């Protein structure tokens, strides 16, 4: 067997690439062998926590779009967000972005840290406080 579940299900790399050129997106999970409809059916039977942890391709917003939402929400510039500034609003925006990026959208702490220009341990500390930032009113849809 060669290639992941999506590759086999679609009939090989040539079909996957042709689909991407046409702008079509297929729901896929490398642990589930089957077409997009079958993957959706399997996932629909799972509870919310498992669904969130699946990190399906194409279902999370880009980290740059998340940074834009955080900068608007906390009234800081993206440059400030990505700098080492310690102003309260900047730190809160960075904490919320780290929380959402890692816990809600499934980005790795290293990805968020790299984007923000901070260390991995900084992101880990920001999300391990146990207190969820006030982010319920933020739309995370694509």
Distance CA 63, CA 59 (A): 12
Per-chain mean pLDDT for the chain: 78
Distance CA 102, CA 99 (A): 6
User: For residues 100 and 140, is the Cβ–Cβ distance under 8 A?
Assistant: yes
pLDDT band with cut points at 50, 70 and 90 for residue 31 = low
Distance CA 57, CA 32 (A): 13
User: For residues 107 and 84, is the Cβ–Cβ distance under 8 A?
Assistant: no
User: What pLDDT, on the 0 to 100 scale, is given for residue 43?
Assistant: 74
The dihedrals phi and psi of 3, each to the nearest 5 degrees, come to 90, 165
The answer, yes or no, to whether residue 139 has pLDDT greater than 70, is: no
Mean pLDDT is lowest, of 14-23, 73-82, 92-101, 105-114, for 14-23
pTM for the model stands at 0.59
User: What pLDDT, on the 0 to 100 scale, is given for residue 67?
Assistant: 93
**Residue 99, exposed/middle/buried by CB under 10 A (0-12, 13-18, 19+)?**
buried
Q: Is the dihedral of CA 59, 12, 40, 48 positive or negative?
A: negative
The answer, yes or no, to whether residue 13 has pLDDT greater than 50, is: yes
User: What pLDDT, on the 0 to 100 scale, is given for residue 137?
Assistant: 60
User: What pLDDT, on the 0 to 100 scale, is given for residue 47?
Assistant: 61
Domains, the chain? 5-54 (no CATH), 63-127 (1.10.1750.10)
**Residue 84, exposed/middle/buried by CB under 10 A (0-12, 13-18, 19+)?**
exposed
pLDDT band with cut points at 50, 70 and 90 for residue 8 = low
């Amino acid at each position: 067997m060669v290639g992941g579940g999506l590759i086999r299900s679609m009939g090989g790399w040539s079909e996957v690439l042709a689909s991407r050129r046409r702008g079509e997106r297929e729901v896929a999970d490398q642990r589930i062998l089957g077409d997009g409809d079958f993957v959706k059916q399997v996932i629909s039977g799972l509870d919310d926590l498992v669904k969130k942890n699946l990190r399906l391709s194409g279902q999370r917003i880009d980290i740059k779009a998340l940074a834009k939402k955080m900068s608007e929400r906390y009234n800081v510039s993206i440059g400030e967000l990505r700098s080492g500034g310690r102003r309260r609003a900047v730190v809160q925006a960075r904490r919320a972005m780290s929380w959402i990026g890692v816990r809600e959208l499934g980005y790795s702490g290293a990805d968020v840290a790299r984007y923000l220009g901070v260390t991995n341990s900084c992101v880990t500390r920001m999300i391990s406080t146990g207190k969820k930032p006030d982010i319920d009113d933020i739309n995370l849809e694509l």
